[in-house]
Chain A
Amino acid sequence: MTTSTPPVTAAPTKAGVQTRATKLRKRLSNPWASLAAVVIAILWTIPTVGLLITSFRPEVDITRNGWWNVLKFWERPTLTLANYDQALFGGQTSLANYFVNTLVVTLPSVVIPISLALLAAYAFAWIDFKGRDILFVAVFALQIVPIQVTLIPLLTQYNQWGLSGTFWPVWLSHSMFALPLAIFLLHNFMKDIPPSLVEAARVDGAGHVKIFFRVLMPLLVPAIASFAIFQFLWVWNDLLVSLTFAGGRPNVAPLTVRIAEMVGTRGSDWFLLSAGAFISMIVPVIVFLSLQRYFVRGMMAGSVKG
């Protein structure tokens, strides 16, 4: 946990939460609900499982029959690591190089927009200034601008500033493109926080900066964690922004560029993508799992009374 107990909140004791949780679990879990959950989980997973199995099949088999034939173990289906071998070691430049590039692109592109968006969201939610609402609506509506229309104007500018071919245009662009959604999401989470909390802190003489860091930030951990996951994913899986602003040279190109090219000049090796997709998926899934513990339950418990 990054946060200590929020000053104004009286967190319920752990034991209390648990007993209540246990009671609730009993109430909510009935066979139909469980069945529905299982059905959704299976429906959502099967397509991916199909790809996972496909990634271990030889090329000839992939085009000849469906992946479920692998389950007919009595027919001795062939499995192979050849697709992974080719995906991992087939390129001229080692895949590790692209991993590093992706990481270098991703970290600032997640931290910078989230920090900026948090501050901006705070301003839109809790600071009174003229034109605030109109400005907020404008920012929110800008989510619709397709990235594609921004490529040429931005690239022209970056060239003039001598930034092309470095990581800077990628960081800047990812930050810009993430801001409208980030501000919108975080603003709405902030609005959820009872005004009484903020008022109380204000009465105690806290300025905006203090209120932001001491009162709001701890309560926003789940919101920040969930947005961080998605911003991370978008940057991680992005091809267009990197390709346009950093180019496809091994020095700056991220993993997605390499994976998109695995299929070969004329797309004839598309089956390699099945392996490529799983290789690039590992990190996002780990991030999702590790950020899940920040979805803390009951953080705002008791706060409404205050």
Chain B
Amino acid sequence: MDWEYVKYYFNWLTGEIRDFLLVANSPGQKIVLAIVVIALFVGVMALLLWLVDRPRNPRGWLVASVFAGPALVLIGFGLVYPAIRTTQSSFYDRTSSVFVGWDNYVRAFSESEFQIVLRNTALWVFLVPILATAIGLIYAVLVDRTRFEKLAKTLVFMPMAISMVGASIIWKFVYDYRQASSPQTGLLNQVLVWIGIEPQQFILSQPWNNFFLIVVMIWIQTGFAMTILSASIRAIPEDIIEAGRLDGLSGIGMFRHITVPSIRPALIVVLTTIAMATLKVFDIVRTMTGGNFGTSVVANEFYTQSFRYNDKGLGATLAVILFVLVIPLVVYNVRQMRKVEEIR
């Protein structure tokens, strides 16, 4: 009898909790839910940390598993498992039902325009990280400690805050082409007209159109480079700067001998991160040319095959090609890590 009572209330309580956590309808409920979820999360993590922080608990793996475990579980479920499945489907046909061996890879590489796609991807992944990082670094140094620092940084940061759809419209108003006799709607062509040159069809002129698309990605990513690099420039210890100054360094000398070496690890991080993002990006190509006019990249082909043609096998294969393209980056980073280890 008593037991039934307890069971009833237990069920009622768990039901209520479940409903609260899953169903939120009014704005107030939703916000409360978000806060409760954050609090729950913090609470659970705090409890775990408190548990392993007993004195005399030197076992590294236990502490490590509490620190890194939750993250690794999420990554394993959300990324590793899908990545393995993707690799698997790359050896199957378009509906993932018949094993076809390397056929998809042969198909991917034998497509008539695939060489252009690979060439474009290489262009992107080479130019975007280097230029975005270089410009972001120079800009961060130039505006550092100036009166307008906040405003100046916000201006370059803004492209990051604009959604992809917004960005595609912004650049439409830069590259748009109208015949010479009509008023131009694209800024770049208007500039050409002002200085007396015929307007150009920027989006059509192969292979230069690739560079015009790459500019968009650089425009977006420079804000990322600037923000991260600026944070690490600010973290350069004052005494190092002071030492450089005493050695008679200033301006470019300071930049080369103090700033760049001090933030070298951050530079590598930024370069790598932008390179990864560039390999994956397809929205720019997709919205601006749809992959036409010889501008497609591997990520765009992957998207088209997977979601437009519903060809699981070929789509997965292109994703695997992306995985492979990242190996040089991984190797480079591992080498850099080793170097840092050795210095220590």
Which residues of A are in contact with B by a Cβ distance under 8 Å? 12, 17, 20-21, 23-25, 27-30, 33-34, 36-37, 40-41, 44-48, 50-51, 54, 62-69, 96-97, 100-101, 103-104, 107-108, 111-112, 115-117, 119-120, 122-124, 127-130, 132-133, 135, 137, 139-146, 148-150, 153-154, 157, 162-163, 166-168, 171-173, 175-177, 179-181, 183-185, 188-189, 191-192, 195, 207-210, 212, 222-223, 225-226, 229-230, 233, 237, 239, 251, 256, 259-260, 270, 273-274, 276-278, 280-281, 284-285, 288-289, 292, 295-305
B residues contacting the other copy or chain, number (CB 8 A): 125
Q: Is the beta-carbon distance between B67 and A148 smaller than 8 angstroms?
A: no
- Give the secondary structure class of A's interface: helix
When chains A and B are docked, how far (Å) is the Cα of A212 from the Cα of B143?
33
Q: Does B68 contact A (CB under 8 A)?
A: yes
Query: In whole Å, how far is A227's beta carbon from the nearest beta carbon of chain B?
Result: 8
Q: Is the beta-carbon distance between B155 and A44 smaller than 8 angstroms?
A: yes
Chain B neighbourhood of A179, CB < 8 A: 71, 74-75
Which residues 66-81 of B have a CB within 8 angstroms of A?
66-68, 70-72, 74-75, 77-81
Kindly identify which residue among A33, A48, A129 contacts B170, using a CB–CB cutoff of 8 Å: A48
12 extra interface residue pairs, beta carbon distance < 8 Å, beyond A104-B24, A140-B330, A226-B227? A108-B41, A123-B63, A148-B303, A162-B22, A166-B23, A167-B33, A185-B273, A209-B52, A273-B165, A280-B163, A304-B237, A304-B240
Q: Is the beta-carbon distance between B27 and A100 smaller than 8 angstroms?
A: yes
Smallest Cβ-Cβ distance to A117: which chain B residue: B71
When chains A and B are docked, how far (Å) is the Cα of A24 from the Cα of B234?
13
Kindly identify which residue among B22, B27, B170, B268 contacts A47, using a CB–CB cutoff of 8 Å: B170
Q: Does B313 contact A (CB under 8 A)?
A: no
Query: In whole Å, how far is B99's beta carbon from the nearest beta carbon of chain A?
Result: 19
- Give the secondary structure class of B's interface: helix
When chains A and B are docked, how far (Å) is the Cα of A107 from the Cα of B36?
11
Query: In whole Å, how far is B2's beta carbon from the nearest beta carbon of chain A?
Result: 31
Chain B neighbourhood of A222, CB < 8 A: 231-232, 234-235
Chain B neighbourhood of A96, CB < 8 A: 27
Query: In whole Å, how far is B238's beta carbon from the nearest beta carbon of chain A?
Result: 4
Q: Is the beta-carbon distance between B185 and A63 smaller than 8 angstroms?
A: yes
